[in-house]
Every structure is written in structure tokens, then in C-alpha cells.
Amino acid sequence: MAGKTINENKFMEIKMKEFLLIFRTDFKNTPDSSPEEIQATNKRWMDWIGGIAAQNKLFDKGNRLANNGRVIRANKSVIDGPYTEIKESIGGYIIIKVESYNEAVDIGKGCPIFNVGGNVEIREISKS
Amino acid sequence: MPAQELIPHLFRTEYRKIVSVLCRHFGFDQIETAEDIASDTFLTAAETWGLKGVPQNPVAWLYHVAKNKAKNHLHRKILYQDKIVPEIQNTNSEIYVDEIDLSPQNINDSQLQMMFAICNPSISTEAQIGLSLRILCGFGIEEIADAFLTSKETINKRLFRAKEKLRQEKIRIELPLPSEIDERLETILRTIYLLFNEGYYSLSQNETLRRDLCLEAMRLCHMLVENKGTNKPQVNALLSLMCFHASRFDARIDKNGKLILYEDQDVGLWDSDLIRKGEYFLNCSASGDKVSKYHIEAAIAYWQTKKEDSKEKWESILQLYNQLLLIEYSPVAALNRTYALSKANSKEEAIIEAEKLNLEDYPFYFTLLGELYTGIDIIKAREYFLKALSLVKTQTDKNAVQKK
């Protein structure tokens, strides 16, 4: 219980900001994985997110997104899949709470999405 | 068993039953009266048994005396009311008195309901634990003060204020609605777990008292498992977790009361019966669709009952800690997760992660760093262990760090 107090104090001192981390990659052209590879990928993600949580910097563990989807265009026409015009699509997101963009970038660099040629977009969540 | 040994023992087991039943009968606002009658019953027992010897059935004797005292109390109350307000109608007062029901079923129901009444979010957790120890576990004020490392006055004040608050809130002795059970159980489970931890990690030097705290916590949880309405997956998970931890009672303390670290424990002293019980309740907890933190902690505790290191063991523990941290952050979980990372992945990776943890206020943070640097950089390892040693407060912790 003593630990909790310490952390509460830290929150009082430092103003934390929330950042959304969006993971994108070309999921369509990712080769099929064996069960072992899937397990290894899951472990990398869990270890990465667990590491953020262990620093008490995870605000929302976010979600993984399914590969398919719908896009509604300006003229209200509906198309299948988010990746008809762009190759990459969003695979998931998390929200972290850190002091600065620098810190958010440092955390983002550890993301396993880079192993499959993806990228991470970081956006501060606007509070105003 | 002679009276002077029997009475404290019976106090522990019977006090709460008498208080719960009477309190249910009188209403929660009369809790002090219920406590007084129960205490008075034990006082009478001490006086009578000392002179005339212990009766054949001491428990029945206690119930009988408690019933009579309750009856007398109600009679006095009625008489008093009669004199002051002569026009008052005491309908059925006699029947009311006779209804005090000390049957096993009513005792169980009353205790369970008392648990819900005490573990109420309107009072602080410390107050909940204090009241639970006093009313549900029959602990003396001095023992409670000892467990919390504070004075009797502080405990008395805390309990008094807590009861006052519960009275203001018009708490009733009853089970919550089925739709509310899960939410209310959360408070109860947290109180039970804190009670257990209070014993398991207590700073108090009184070893018997500490073990009693753990056993009482398990007993309360058992009561919830035995009742249909409260026999929920998360309750079984918590009980499983406590069984696993408690299985190491005999192995973790040496003859001089010093803590023996996990890796130095004699596995032969682990209680295999409790481990089996833990496994049983862990299986019972595997239903429903919600994974509580107790489920995860029980699963970690399960792996800890396997002493030998294996890739599978540490990988499982690491993933469980990852999951636990996603549910709820705690510095202890963060430290343990990093240790598991060193075992499952590598010390080098764990060092990088450990240095991000920001837990410099924690002596065990430095123990962890010392541990991680052992075999990599002996000078740094030594530095960290010394730093940890300068930060720990209790002798038990000092011994543990020194050993490293």
C-alpha cells in the first residue's frame, strides 16, 4: 500500500499527458504465420505492453482491430475494407500517459510492429 | 483443555457468531449491545468455569448464557421504556426475545450478512479490516493494534468511528441483491486479501498472530465459497491464491523467526495438502467470462509451487504478470514482472526494463537490480545490494537483503 502513495505523489508533481499510439502495417501482404510464429508475435506484443504497464505509463491497453472493415465515403457510398486506396491499415492502438512527446517516442520505438515493416503514429490527445 | 486455554480459543470461534446473531436480531444500530452481551458471556464463563469446572458442552453453555443475557437485556429495555413512556405498547416482546436463533444455519447466515455490513465502501479499508478482525475474527483490541503497529487508543477510536459511520448510513444486516453481489464482493475480497497480506507480510514480530491473521482471512473466504449466493469464480480464485501462499508457512520462517527466502526454502516443508486445495479452488475458479486479478495471482502462485526452474514456468509467470499489470498497476507486480523477464528472456533485457521502473523509493527495487547485475557486473551488484540495505526498515527485511 505504501507503493501506491509513492505513485500518487508522482502524479501530483508531474503533469502527465495522454498519447494515442496507432499501429499501421500492410496486413494484406503479411505472409501466413505458423502457430509458433503467432505465439512468438503475441509474446513480443505482451512483453512490450507489459513493460509499459510496469512503468505505470499505460493508460488504456487499447484494442487490436480485425483486418476487414467498411469505409463510408463523402458521397455516403460504402466500400469494403479499409485498404482499397492505401496499402497500410490500422492494426491496433493503445493510449499511454507520459510527460512528453520525447518519452512517447522512446516507448513507441520498442513496438513489435517494426518487425513486420509497420509504423507507429503518435498523437497527443487534446484536452481542450 | 483447561478453562484458561479453552476460553481464548472459544472466543476466537464463538464471539463472532454470538455478535452476528444478536446484531441481526437487534439491528445493526445495536451492535455495541451485541458486542457487550457477547463479551459479558465470556466473562461469566471465565468466572464460572474457573470455579465449577468446564461444562460438558462449552459452546452450548455459551449460547445458552448469551441467550439469557440477551433476554434480560430486552426485558430491562422494555421495563425502562414502560416506566418512562407508560403508554407504550410492548406487543409480542416476549415472543421476540425467544426468537434468538443460534442454530447453525442462522449463525452462518448472520456471519455472512455481517461480513457484507462491515465491508462497506462507506468506511475506509483500514476500518473495514479493523472491524473484521474485531467482530468476524474475535481479535482483541491489543492484537489489532499489534497487527497495525499502532496504539490501542487509535484502534478503539477507529472502530468507534467506523461503527458510528455505519449507523449513520443505516447499514442493515442482510445480503445484497443478487445483481449487486459482484460489486459488493469486490470490497469484501479486497478486505480479506489485505487481511491475509497483513499476516503474510506483517511487520509485527508476533509470529502466531501473523499466522492467525492469514488463517482467519482464509476462513472468511471459505465461508463465501460455502454459500451458494457468494460462491463466485473470483472468490474461489482468492481462496486458491491464499492456499498456495499458506502452503509455505512452515518453510518460510526459521526457528528464530527469521524469514527464509523462496529459493532457500526446504520444499519438504511445503504443505502439499494446502497446495492440493489451492489447485482444487483454482479449478473451481475457472468459470464465467471475467478474469479477475485474483485469478492471475492464483495462477502465478500455482507456478510458484513448482520449485524447479523451467522455460515454461518463467514464460508463464512473465505473461501472467504482464496481464496482471494490464488489470492493475502495483510496484510489487512491476518488480516481480521484471524478475520474471530476466528468467524468461535475459538479464540484459531485464536490466534495461528495470532501469525504467522509477521505483527508487523501494528497497526491493535495488535488491532486484543487485540480483540482475549479479554475474554481469559484480561491483554494480554489490553497490545495489548495499543501497537496498540502507533503505530497508525492518530487521526481517534487513536479514533477507543481507543474505544476498
What pLDDT does A1 receive? 35
Confidence class of residue B78 from pLDDT cuts 50, 70 and 90? confident
Closest C-alpha among B183, B177, B215, B180 to residue B196: B215
Work out the minimum CA distance from A54 to partner chain B, whole angstroms. Answer: 5
Alpha helices in chain A (DSSP H): 2-13, 35-54, 101-108
State how far the Cα of B259 lies from the Cα of B7, in Å rounded to an integer. 31
Q: Which of A9-23, A26-40, B270-284 has the lowest mean pLDDT?
A: A9-23
A111–B contact, CB cutoff 8 A = no
Task: Label residue A71 by pLDDT band (50, 70, 90).
Answer: confident
Query: How high is the pLDDT of residue B308?
Result: 87
Interface of B with A (CB under 8 A): 315, 318-319, 321-323, 325-326, 329-334, 337-338, 341, 345, 353, 356-359, 361-362
* AA identity, residue B340: A
Residue B91 is predicted with a pLDDT of 47
Confidence label for B368 from pLDDT (cuts 50, 70 and 90): very high
Give how far the C-alpha of residue B351 lies from the chain's centroid of Cα atoms, to the nearest Å. Answer: 35
Mean pLDDT, chain B, whole residue set: 87
Q: What is the pLDDT of residues B302-337, one digit of tens each?
A: 999 998 889 999 999 999 999 999 999 999 999 999
Rounded-to-integer distance, Cα A120 and Cα A108, Å: 7
Q: How many CB atoms lie within 10 A of CB B32?
A: 13
Report the gap between the CA of A48 and the closest CA in chain B (Å): 9
Helices (H), B53-87: 58-84
**What average pLDDT does this structure show over B123-138?**
88
- Give the residue on A whose Cα is nearest the Cα of B340: A47
Task: Out of A4, A7, A54, name the one closest to residue B325 (CB).
Answer: A54
Closest residue by Cα to residue B296 from B248, B241, B338: B241
Residue A27 clears pLDDT 80, i.e. is over it: no
Using a CB-CB distance cutoff of 8 angstroms, which residues of chain A are in contact with residue B322? 46-47, 49-50, 53
Burial class of residue B354 in the structure, from the number of CB atoms within 10 Å of its CB (0-12 exposed, 13-18 middle, 19+ buried): buried
* Residue range B1-10: mean pLDDT, rounded: 79
Closest chain B C-alpha to A35 CA, distance in angstroms: 17
pLDDT band at A9 (very low <50, low <70, confident <90, very high): very low
Q: Which residue has the higher pLDDT, B138 or A48?
A: A48
CATH architecture of A15-124: 2-Layer Sandwich (3.30)
Determine whether B280 is exposed, middle or buried from the number of CB atoms within 10 Å of its CB (0-12, 13-18, 19+): middle
Facing B325 at nearest CB: one of A7, A10, A53: A53
Q: Is A87 on the interface with B (CB under 8 A)?
A: no
The predicted pLDDT at position A13 comes to 53
Distance, in Å, from the CA atom of B116 to the CA atom of B123, rounded to the nearest integer, reads 12
Q: What is the pLDDT of residue A28?
A: 73
Kindly report, residue by residue over B241-290, the tens digit of the pLDDT.
999 999 998 888 877 777 787 888 888 889 999 999 999 999 999 998 88
- Residue B370: its pLDDT value, please? 93
Q: Give domain limits for chain A.
A: 15-124
State the pLDDT confidence band at B94, using cuts at 50, 70 and 90.
very low
d(CA B29, CA B43): 23
Residue B82, pLDDT > 80, answer no
Give the gap in angstroms from C-alpha B54 to the nearest C-alpha of chain A.
Answer: 45
- Higher confidence at residue B262 or residue A82? B262
Chain A neighbors of B333, CB-CB under 8 A: 54
- Does pLDDT of A12 surpass 60? no
Question: Count of A–B CB contacts within 8 Å?
Answer: 60
Question: Does A3 sit within 8 Å of B362, measured CB to CB?
Answer: yes
| Higher-confidence position of A88 and B64 | B64
Residue A115 predicted with pLDDT over 50: yes
- Percent of chain B past pLDDT 70, that is, above it, reads 92
Provide the 8-state DSSP code for B30.
G
pTM of the model: 0.81
Q: To the nearest whole angstrom, how far is the Cα of A10 from the nearest Cα of chain B?
A: 10
- DSSP code of residue B255: T
**Separation in Å, CA B104 to CA B14, B64, B108:** 12, 14, 6
Predicted pLDDT at B100: 82
Placement of cell 529459493 in the chain: B263
